[in-house]
Amino acid sequence: MANDPNWRLPEVPAFSLTSPDFTHGGQLPAWSRGSGEGAENRSPALSWEGAPAGTASYVLTMFDPDAPTSSGWWHWAVAGIPATVASLPQDAGNPATGLLPGAAVTIANEARVEAYGGAAPPPGHGEHRYYFTVSALDTERLDVPEGATPAMLSFLMRPHVIARAQLMGVTETPA
């Protein structure tokens, strides 16, 4: 149970999430990291397919269940991605690029920044897993209050999730 960050989520059908920048279980690119050598804090490109009929919108999250906290670490959360969108380009997590679809809303991450926060495990903490999750929802819009956290977003979307796609990348900080 403790090793599976999804153990509390309801079971729903799966669809496909891929990236040209890393493979499932593979190393995240150095440029996608939030700290360390080569870090540029740039979100990877993501593409998804196979969401079920009835999908009205998507929510994207990036979560590190291995962070040294009792609740993990939310690096990125975006709600209101239109059902007509099936990919995001590299650096879409940077608000200055304008690469997110107009209706999408970025929720502040654990650092309270409304942007992608790259992988940054503490020194000597070993390997961390980063779960990129795209959830297909049966509603176009969630009523997410101003200042909500990614955990609140997760709670609000729970009854609306009709399918889920995941892609996990890893990083390790040298000892």
Q: Which range, 2-6, 16-20, 145-149, is most confident?
A: 16-20
- Nearby residues of 16 by Cβ (< 8 Å), 6 or more positions away: 48, 49, 50, 165
- Residue 14 included in any domain: no
Domain count across the chain: 1
DSSP code at position 167: E
Q: What are the pLDDT digits (tens) for 43-52? A: 999 999 999 9
Element (H, E) at 172: strand 161-173
Residue type, 64: D
CA atoms within 13 A on the CB side of 139: 11
Can you tell me the distance from the alpha carbon of 133 to that of 77, in angstroms, rounded to the nearest whole number?
Answer: 9
Assign 35 a pLDDT band (cuts: 50, 70, 90): confident
Write down the mean pLDDT value for the chain.
Answer: 93
| Cβ contact 55:83 at 8 Å | yes
Amino acid in the structure at residue 154:
S
Instruction: Output the CA–CA distances (angstroms, integers) from residue 50 to 46, 62, 137, in the order listed.
Output: 14, 20, 13
Strand pairing category for 73-82 and 87-88 = unpaired
Supply the range of the domain harboring residue 162: 19-173
CATH of the domain at 137: 3.90.280.10
**Average pLDDT of the segment spanning 126-133:** 94
Looking at the domain assignment, is residue 4 inside a domain?
no
**Residue 172 bridge partners (DSSP):** 127
- Residue 1 domain-assigned? no
More confident: 121 or 3? 121
Q: What is the band of 3 on the pLDDT scale with cuts at 50, 70, 90?
A: low
Q: At CA 82, angle to CA 137 and CA 106, rounded to 5?
A: 85
Instruction: Determine the average pLDDT of the residues in 61-87.
Output: 95
Q: Per the domain annotation, does 78 fall within a domain?
A: yes
78-125 pLDDT tens trace: 999 999 999 999 999 999 999 999 899 999 999 999 999 999 888 888
Q: Is the pLDDT of residue 61 over 70?
A: yes
Tell me the torsion sign for CA atoms 77, 83, 89, 95: negative
